[in-house]
Amino acid sequence: MPIFPREETLLSLGECRDIGISQTATAFNICRADGSSLSTSNYGSVGIPSTTAGLVKTLNVTANATISHGDTNELGDNSWGITTTVNWAEDRPLYLYAINFGNSKVYWGLSDDPTKTETPATVYYKNVGGANVQGNFLCMTDSGGDDLAAKPCVCVGAIRIQWTT
């Protein structure tokens, strides 16, 4: 029987270990499960689709990710297709995604679509905005860095949002 190389999988697809979320009056954060900052010595892990189809890769997360809301409003620059001229008091889910960049780094994204397995060909970044159609994907990083279009991703959770004009 031939022996095929394989990637070792420590976590199941979508499983997070020591990853948490926190929220302040002005920001939504990905951090350690205890609320402290992620770092190379205090990291979390996520089971994420590998860049090799059909495999799961366990990647360490060594830095927090943050997106503002409220008055500074990086999150509010993205409407996902809602009417933005009226208050919207009903909860709406946004799904949190872990994005695999080159089997070496995890980025985070938000979408109103819970079924994505790959980021779309066009993604939006927190410093630019523009995720204004249902199904758009907002990356919790600034543009100008790594290109996060068409990368493997997995939904790892959800948050609830409301819209206020």
Question: What are 45-84's pLDDT values in tens digits?
Answer: 999 999 999 999 999 999 999 777 655 566 666 666 666 6
For the chain, what are the domain ranges? 16-163
Whether the full predicted model's pTM is greater than 0.85, yes or no, is no
Nearest 5°: the CA angle 55, 61, 65 is 120
Let me know how many helices (H) and strands (E) the chain has, helices first: 0, 11
With bands split at pLDDT 50, 70 and 90, how would you rate the model's confidence at 119?
Answer: very high
First to last CA, the chain: 64
